């Protein structure tokens, strides 16, 4: 089966610029997750969607980060404006239902200069 | 707050030697625990979960509630086991908490 697709693979921007990441989950997966993985740390959940509704965004820095999953399929994560500390790998994952096995994408590596 | 601790950032063993990757958790309820693995240039993927009580690629992990541990073990390590291993726990709200990971290197 096709896996979770993410783009771009790499992105380099300057601080205060904006950036957006895209994720296409596995077909039929209702739950979609965005994780932030800073170098040397484990992934940290930013936001979780169930279909097109937000289940958990308690760890999303809402002053600069936003995410949407308008039709309950693809999702975008945006950072505006970016800070140096946002440099990380942004992982998208999906699962058939909440609480089931997560399938991860390859991630987007963001460097903020 | 729920927390997962992996005390070893790096672990090296020789092929054929036993390996144990340590994981401790802090959670007052009944945790759901997992091991995820990321091989070089591949995606993060589920290795095993404690409720399945299964052995995957020769790895096993037993939940020890007394020691709040979920160590990952394999009696005879292979070179292809070299990877980054993450321990994770799921809260009652469904959120997965990951440890910082342990990089395992198996030397020939």
Tokens of B22: 């340590």
User: Residue B2: what pLDDT?
Assistant: 66
Mean pLDDT of A44-64: 93
How far apart CA A49 and CA A69 sit, in angstroms, is 7
Mean pLDDT of B70-98: 91
What integer best gives the mean pLDDT of chain B?
91
Mean pLDDT of B39-59: 89
User: Residue A1: what pLDDT?
Assistant: 56
Lowest mean pLDDT among A39-43, B13-17, B19-23, B24-28: B24-28
User: Residue B1: what pLDDT?
Assistant: 62
Q: How far is A56 from chain B (nearest CA, A)?
A: 8
Contact (Cβ atoms closer than 8 angstroms) between residue B26 and residue B68: yes
Task: Give A13's pLDDT tier (boundaries 50, 70, 90).
Answer: very high
Nearest CB to A56; choose among B4, B88, B95: B95
DSSP notation for A83-107: -GGG-EEEEEEEESSTTS--EE---
Q: Which residues contact A34 (CB under 8 A, 6 or more apart)?
A: A23, A45, A46, A47, A48, A67, A75, A77, A90, A91, A92
User: Residue A50: what pLDDT?
Assistant: 92
User: Residue B44: what pLDDT?
Assistant: 95
Tokens of B25: 């958790």
How far apart CA A90 and CA A23 sit, in angstroms, is 10
Q: Is the pLDDT of residue A48 over 90?
A: yes
DSSP notation for B51-100: GGT--BTTBEE--BTTTTB--EEESS--GGG-EEEEEEEE-TT--EEE--
Residue bearing the bigger pLDDT, B92 or B55: B55
Q: Do A42 and B4 touch (CB under 8 A)?
A: yes
User: Residue B56: what pLDDT?
Assistant: 87
In 3-state terms, what secondary structure has residue A64? coil
> Around B65, how many Cα atoms within 13 Å sit in the side-chain half-sphere?
5
Q: Do A41 and B86 touch (CB under 8 A)?
A: no
Q: Do B95 and A42 touch (CB under 8 A)?
A: no
What integer best gives the mean pLDDT of chain A?
94
């Amino acid at each position: 089966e096709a896996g979770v697709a993410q783009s771009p693979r790499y992105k380099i921007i300057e601080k205060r610029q904006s950036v957006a990441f895209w994720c296409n989950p596995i077909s039929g997966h209702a739950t979609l997750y965005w994780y932030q993985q800073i170098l040397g740390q484990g992934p940290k959940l930013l936001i979780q969607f169930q279909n097109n509704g937000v289940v958990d965004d308690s760890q999303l820095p809402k002053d600069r980060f936003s995410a949407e999953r308008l039709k309950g399929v693809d999702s975008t994560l945006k950072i505006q404006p970016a800070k140096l500390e946002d440099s990380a790998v942004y992982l998208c994952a999906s699962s058939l239902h909440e609480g089931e096995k997560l399938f991860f994408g390859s991630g987007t590596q963001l460097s903020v200069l | 707050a729920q927390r997962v601790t992996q005390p070893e950032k790096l672990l090296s063993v020789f092929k054929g030697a036993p390996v144990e990757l340590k994981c401790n958790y802090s959670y007052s309820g009944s945790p759901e625990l997992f091991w995820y693995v990321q091989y070089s240039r591949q995606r993060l993927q589920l290795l095993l979960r404690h409720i399945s009580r299964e052995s995957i690629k020769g790895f096993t992990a037993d939940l020890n509630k007394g020691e709040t541990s979920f160590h990952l073990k394999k009696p005879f390590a292979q070179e292809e086991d070299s990877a980054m291993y993450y321990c994770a726990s799921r809260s009652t709200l469904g959120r997965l908490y990951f440890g910082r990971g342990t990089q395992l290197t198996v030397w020939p």
